[in-house]
Amino acid sequence: MAVTIRDVARQAQVSVSTVSRALSAPGLVKETTRQRVLDVVAGLGYQPNRAARSLITGRTGNLGIVVPDLENPFFPAVLRGVQTRAGEAGTSVFFCDSRECPETEAELVRTMAAQVDGVVLCASLLSDETIIELATATPLVLINRIVPGVSSVLMDSASGMEQVVTHLESLGHKHYVYLGGPDAAWSNHRRMQGLRGRAQLIGSFEPNFGGGHTAAEQALKTGATAFIAYNDLMALGALSYLASNDIKVPQQISVTGFDDILYAAMCSPALTTVHMPTEEAGNVAVDLLANLLEGGPTEQRELPTKLVIRASTRKHPMSA
């Protein structure tokens, strides 16, 4: 195979342990020796064998992330945050898409566990019990989910939703309907809390374009003047349904989304939605995982969200 630590040791005229130390515990080696080793390392293009290292340290230097749907741009954004922060620490990232299936999710976490130091679980659909069980076996950080005793980073959905409601009320809307996401999604319940009981509820629907389409059809029958979608993808689906039925947004019906994915700003009318600090959440998740790996305590962190008002909402016509 490639060049080993022994080759470096020989050429630098030191023992293998000195090479090892020069690389991973610089303080323990005389500066001139270290420099000599480093030169040889560079010259030979030596790269430590990670398998050998992790065999002895028990650490892989990798981390995993599983998301429910890679096609929802919300999740690639989180991935980016994770990759960026992990990369800074020389950590590589495994990813998996569970396709909104809880069984797959648990399976993936278990499979990953064997080859990573810890995993980030996004918008999990698993039960508290299963999550606790997984967290016992593997350092685990949740994103947008709270489970007692497990680290997590939250984007404040409840507050985001309250901002939506406040906005809609300030526009004079009296009757609005919530196009609900998956029952198993913790975020869905959290968002409902933010509604403070003021919205009519329908659902649950699939948290994607098709789900929004279906939801809009039902929502229309309620006579509501505003639709609050579980997420942007559903809102986009609703927009599409309404457009194809010649219902004008926002003139006849106001629509709001959640997540502020890229397309929320691109569609027309541009979507009023709640901005989520996705990349930052990814960063923080990696930090929490790092703490965990150093024996630190579990932590919960909450990141603020902010309503972004665009063109899909306006004053309720009757309230003028």
Partner DNA sequence: TTGAAAGCGCTAACAG
Partner DNA sequence: CTGTTAGCGCTTTCAA
Axis-axis angle for helices 209-220, 232-244 (nearest 10):
60
Kindly give the pairing relationship between strand 273-275 and strand 306-308: antiparallel
Task: Report the distance separating Cα 277 and Cα 296, nearest Å.
Answer: 25
User: By CB under 7 A, is residue 55 in contact with DNA?
Assistant: yes
Query: DSSP secondary structure string, 229-254?
Result: ESSHHHHHHHHHHHHHTT--TTTT-E
Exposure string for 103-120, b = 16+ CB within 10 A, e = fewer: ebbbebbeebbeebbbbb
Is residue 293 at the binding interface for DNA, with CB under 7 A as the rule?
Answer: no
Least distance from a copy of itself to the Cβ atom of residue 299, Å: 26
To the nearest whole angstrom, how small is the minimum distance from the Cβ of residue 52 to DNA?
Answer: 3
**Region from 13-21, 118-126, 130-138, 225-233 binding DNA, contact rule CB under 7 A:** 13-21
Stretch that binds DNA, among 23-31, 161-169, 207-215, 268-276 (CB under 7 A): 23-31
- DSSP letter at 175 equals -
Quick one: which segment of 10-18, 76-84, 175-183, 269-277 binds DNA (CB under 7 A)?
10-18
At its nearest, how many Å lie between DNA and the CB of residue 194? 47
Query: Residue 245 class from Cβ within 10 Å (0-12 exposed, 13-18 middle, 19+ buried)?
Result: exposed
Q: Measure the CA–CA gap between 120 and 104, rounded to whole angstroms.
A: 15
CB of 63 to DNA, least distance (A): 19
5 interface partner picked from a copy of itself, DNA, none, CB below 5 to 8 A per type = DNA
Task: Note whether 12 and 36 are within 8 A (CB).
Answer: yes
CA-based end-to-end distance of the chain: 77
Residue closer to DNA by CB (options 114, 320) is: 114
Q: Would you count residue 48 as binding DNA (CB under 7 A)?
A: yes
**Residues 221-280 interacting with DNA (rule: CB under 7 A):** none
Task: Choose the one of a copy of itself, DNA, none that binds residue 114, judging by a C-beta under 5 to 8 angstroms depending on kind.
Answer: a copy of itself
Binding DNA by CB under 7 A: which of 29, 125, 155, 165? 29
DSSP string, 248-298: -TTTT-EEE-SB--HHHHHSSSPPBEEE--HHHHHHHHHHHHHHHHTTPPP
Is position 38 an interface residue for DNA (rule: CB under 7 A)? no
Which entry of DNA, a copy of itself, none binds 237, CB below 5 to 8 A by partner kind? a copy of itself
Supply the minimum distance, in Å, between the C-beta of residue 192 and a copy of itself.
25
Which residues are near DNA by CB under 7 A? 1, 4-6, 13-21, 23-25, 28-34, 46, 48-49, 52-53, 55-57
